[in-house]
Chain A
Amino acid sequence: MRESKTTTAVMVAICVAPLTLFAEEGSGRLGPNFLHVEPDTGTLLVLCEKSDSIARIDVRTGAFLAESDIGVAPFAVCAHPSNNRLYVSCRRGQEVVELDASSLGVKRRFSVLGDPTGLTVSGDGTRLYVGVHSLDQLAVFDLESGEEIKRLSVGNGPEMVRLVPGKGQVYVTHLLSNPVRADQPCRNEVTVIDDATGRIVDRIILENANVGRWIDFTADEMLGVVVISRPKNLVPMVQVARGWVVTNGFALLGAEAAGEPVQLLVDLPNEGFADPYGVVFAADDRKFYLTASGVDTVVVVDVGRVGTVLSEVGEDDLTDLANHLGVSRRYVTARIPVGANPMALAASDDGRWVYVANRLDDSISVIDTTTDRVVRTLVLGDPPPADRLHRGERFFHSSAKTFQRQFACVSCHPDGGFDGLVYDLEPDGLGENIVDNRNMRDVVDTGPFKWVGTNPDISTQCGTRTAKWIVRTGWLSSTGVVDLSNYIKSIPPVVNPYRSPDGRLTAAQRRGKALFDRTTLNDGTPMARKDQCAFCHAGPKFTDGRRSDVGTKGSGDTKTAFDTAHLNNIFESGPYLHDGRAATLEEIWTKYNLDDRHGISSDWTKQQLNDLVEYLKCL
């Protein structure tokens, strides 16, 4: 009996220890993720996502001139046209914070349903536009009252929001593709809003593109650049040797081919420049600077040379450039090594300097645009030594260990989540065994991994399996795999806008829970346990950790049973089922459970289906 207690105690200690360790690790870092050059003074505002703060620094010394705690996970900052106020979106804090631009003191807080991302103030200074990633919306606030006045349905996962004042338009980029069928290439949207009316006036589609990040325009607003990736998810991922997994580049707004923005790559034939993130024009708009965050590099693109390349190619062939790995040599004039995981950029008012926020080593690289060299590196504060969690985070965000540095974990799992696509991962034939990309957030206790459930834990999933099937290199040491696994386990869930802050369920969610937990059919007939939702979707993450045949084997599948999907945060992880065939939660049952093999749904009313979906979305 004593021995049993001891065993239990040890087991508890083992379970708790990593969490405790994680809590201690990774602390003390700033995580600079957004920069803003202040007019007149030239000082730099730095958002720090890990310390939930904003800092004003001297760009010559890196000294902190002011610092303010603002809110949880600040994401972006914008200035009011009057320059006396700043607005910061706090993604996990579900709020936008209004700051006094001088003191950086908090003036007001605007609550946002969902997770706010990019933001901008209208040209007349009366309204604030805020992207809400998890709800695919743009929230519009009245700045006088602080009230939200409406929401616009934009693209999938709004990322950056940018006012282009001369055009009187607001541009919104998106992390994810608009929904497409599983066998169709992705389509990333740039939504355009008329600033005067606050209405959407255009949706620019970037074909075959995904993970839209920053956007910037030349001063004359004639040319815009959107940072994108181009995943090749419909061909087997083993084509990594041919550079056919993810390519990286940008789309040009203002340079169209066949009515679509021209897309160009920054990659080289034998070298990827993974995870492009930030972009900024500088040096009199003759160049733009783009962070390749996966390779710790800033890529410099000469606008004039881009024009030359485009002018030499017939319009019919312009779209081919989007897949041309050999052409970037002609317009990329420099590839500048910077710090770890560079993301945000900002240019000084005179265009002479470009500042680069290196998110994972708490530093700012200062680039002289006349030489395109780093002239200074400003270390922010006193970063602690790299611990295991930090090393894991760097692995996750670095493509250094992938063949030809083509992609990192984060390339397909942006922001630690998922990219909304299905992948043809294995060399078993085109279109065979395609699988929906799974969310990496909040995965503790959701094993086994892979849709066929063959990897018992994250270390297996991200160790030899990754080396063999995905990155095609020697990959990480065993210690590195553990560090990476621990980091993945530490990725928190997104804020769930369907979940009440106090945990209470709405009436519809309560009814949905009753249906989820039911043991009898609507007519009172007892249900077999295997037909009850809560039987397979059991436990804190709503999975029994087994494989189940729910009648979803497709013509290209070689397996019939698939991992019981965990349901936590399922609201954000569409499409659904192992091959992404269900575009919405409803379709799991209305289209793909006609034989009642995925629970018994044939006796549900439409009202019951709606209730169940409401419940599932709040998990």
Chain B
Amino acid sequence: MRLTVRHSVLAVILLGATCTAFGAPPFYDEWKTFGVRDGLPSNKAMAVLATDSEVWVGTDKGLSRLKNGRWKTFTPKDGLAHRAVLQLAKDPDSGDLWIATMGGLSRYSAGRFDTFTQLNSGLANDVVYGVDAGEGEVWAATAAGASRYEIQRNRWTIFDDSNTPMHEIWCYSVTIAGNEVYMAVWGGGLLEYKRDRDRWKDYRDPDGEMEIDLFRNDGLVHDVVTAAALDASDRVWIGTYFGLSSYDGRKWRNFMDHDSPLLSNFINAVTTKGKYAWLATDNGISATDRENWWSYQRDAATGEGLVIWTPAKGPEERFTTKTMFPHNYLLGSSFQGDDLWVATEKGVARGRRSGAPQAKSSRERTKAGGSKDE
């Protein structure tokens, strides 16, 4: 037993050294879950956004903020557009919070809610799946196209099938990345907008097949795109319901759950930190820089976590953690320093590195779609 522990300690130390060498994220082994009993209006967390001093959580019954250790909830009575909050974005310039809801787009700024709907503003549609803010603009991904709000000019523009290559107008999420804006279109691939040239370009699945990827790395893995994010190496990571794509401007690389450590092809959200993309799936969360992989899952039976480290070279390592997020269906993630926050079906959770030695595990990861939580 002593030998085992010693080996585990050594493994973690070596793992840490390896991770550091690769610039890999920390090993999150200490998880704390927040839900209704902590003050959230619902355990169904559909979005999470962490800043230096606050954590915002969007649920199906309102928006909550964790500040100075206390949760406060906002609902339509406070001015929120709708109780179902789907995505959150912080404007890095103004600090305003933009809130995508099922009933419009809200702005929260120092205690004041302003709501923009299809009836009172230029917003394309009230079903707002995604939002991002930055560079003096706010972009909304709606069920009827994309909307851009130029803050300085107080001007709205709708982008849909009439003025972009968006042959489907069901926009699922949006990401502002400097000069580029990436629009994830459900069934329409990924659209890239160059702000300086006012030009759109679409990235589509070359084979157009629903269930298979005919030629590996030939382009976007699938047209049902749910999310996109840019990493520190300017690679675009694209989450779909049928796998993961990354594109560095020249080459595509695609990953699916049967040919990579990706936990599931069903990717709900993508977040980047450094060179790593974090993929919130219906079966846990995976992180990768294309070569190395972390995967986090919860064992519904024990409540313990299974963490798998798959380095580019060398054997896969498996660890058990005593705590884990409350459910494997994840809808979002966000970083607060080195802490990782995830939004799940049964609450929001914060992952932290304890630094304590971890026990290795021989447990198998669950297969996509077969989560024990179901």
Binds A, one of B33-41, B119-127, B272-280: B119-127
Q: Are B120 and A587 closer than 8 Å at their CB atoms?
A: yes
A residues 589-608 in Cβ contact with B at 8 Å:
590-591, 606-607
Binds B, one of A150-158, A361-369, A372-380, A462-470: A150-158
Interface of A is mostly: mixed
A561 at the binding interface (Cβ < 8 Å): no
A583 at the binding interface (Cβ < 8 Å): yes
Tell me, in angstroms, the Cα distance from A189 to B112 when the chains sit together.
10
A137 at the binding interface (Cβ < 8 Å): yes
A268 at the binding interface (Cβ < 8 Å): no
A493 at the binding interface (Cβ < 8 Å): no
A497 at the binding interface (Cβ < 8 Å): yes
B residues 118-147 in Cβ contact with A at 8 Å:
118-122, 124-125, 136, 144
Q: Are B120 and A607 closer than 8 Å at their CB atoms?
A: no
Q: Which residues does chain A contribute within 8 Å of B151, judged by CB atoms?
A: 137, 151, 153
Interface string of A101-123 (1 = CB under 8 A from B): 00000000000010000000000
Q: Are A508 and B153 closer than 8 Å at their CB atoms?
A: no
Q: Are B155 and A152 closer than 8 Å at their CB atoms?
A: no
A265 at the binding interface (Cβ < 8 Å): no
B154 at the binding interface (Cβ < 8 Å): yes
A202 at the binding interface (Cβ < 8 Å): yes
Tell me, in angstroms, the Cα distance from A189 to B152 when the chains sit together.
20
Q: Are B110 and A150 closer than 8 Å at their CB atoms?
A: no
Interface of B is mostly: loop
Contact flag A586-B121 (CB < 8 Å), given A153-B107, A607-B158: yes
CB-nearest residue of chain B to A189 = B112
- Picked from B107, B118, B119, B152, the residue with its CB within 8 Å of the CB of A151 is B152
- Picked from B93, B109, B114, B119, the residue with its CB within 8 Å of the CB of A587 is B119
B160 at the binding interface (Cβ < 8 Å): yes
- Picked from A135, A200, A587, A607, the residue with its CB within 8 Å of the CB of B94 is A200
Tell me, in angstroms, the Cα distance from A586 to B154 when the chains sit together.
14
Tell me, in angstroms, the Cα distance from A137 to B162 when the chains sit together.
32
- Picked from A139, A148, A203, A590, the residue with its CB within 8 Å of the CB of B109 is A203
> What's the least CB distance linking B356 to chain A, in Å?
36
A52 at the binding interface (Cβ < 8 Å): no
Most buried by A among B107, B122, B158, B162: B122
Q: Are B120 and A614 closer than 8 Å at their CB atoms?
A: no
A348 at the binding interface (Cβ < 8 Å): no
Tell me, in angstroms, the Cα distance from A586 to B95 when the chains sit together.
27
> What's the least CB distance linking A189 to chain B, in Å?
8
Q: Which residues does chain B contribute within 8 Å of A153, judged by CB atoms?
A: 94, 96, 107, 109, 114, 151
A167 at the binding interface (Cβ < 8 Å): no
Q: What class of interface size applies to chain B in its complex with A?
A: 20 to 34
Tell me, in angstroms, the Cα distance from A150 to B150 when the chains sit together.
11
- Tally A-B pairs: CB < 8 A: 77
Interface string of B89-117 (1 = CB under 8 A from A): 00001111000000000010111101000
> What's the least CB distance linking A539 to chain B, in Å?
27
A residues 410-445 in Cβ contact with B at 8 Å:
none
> What's the least CB distance linking A515 to chain B, in Å?
14
Q: Are A151 and B136 closer than 8 Å at their CB atoms?
A: yes
A residues 560-594 in Cβ contact with B at 8 Å:
583-584, 586-587, 590-591
Most buried by B among A139, A148, A198, A610: A610
Q: Are A200 and B153 closer than 8 Å at their CB atoms?
A: no
Q: Which residues does chain A contribute within 8 Å of B111, judged by CB atoms?
A: 202-203
Q: Which residues does chain B contribute within 8 Å of A389, judged by CB atoms?
A: none
Tell me, in angstroms, the Cα distance from A546 to B103 when the chains sit together.
39
Q: Are A590 and B158 closer than 8 Å at their CB atoms?
A: no
Tell me, in angstroms, the Cα distance from A178 to B112 when the chains sit together.
10
A201 at the binding interface (Cβ < 8 Å): yes
B74 at the binding interface (Cβ < 8 Å): no
Interface residues of chain B, those whose CB is within 8 Å of chain A, are: 93-96, 107, 109-112, 114, 118-122, 124-125, 136, 144, 151-158, 160, 162
Report the 7 A-B pairs with minimum CB-CB distance, sorted nearest first.
A199-B95, A590-B119, A150-B93, A200-B110, A610-B122, A151-B152, A584-B120
17 contacts between A and B (CB under 8 A): A137-B152, A149-B93, A151-B136, A152-B94, A153-B94, A192-B110, A200-B109, A201-B110, A203-B110, A497-B154, A498-B154, A508-B157, A586-B119, A606-B118, A606-B124, A610-B156, A610-B158
Interface residues of chain A, those whose CB is within 8 Å of chain B, are: 113, 135, 137, 139, 148-153, 178, 189, 191-192, 197-203, 497-498, 508, 583-584, 586-587, 590-591, 606-607, 610, 613-614
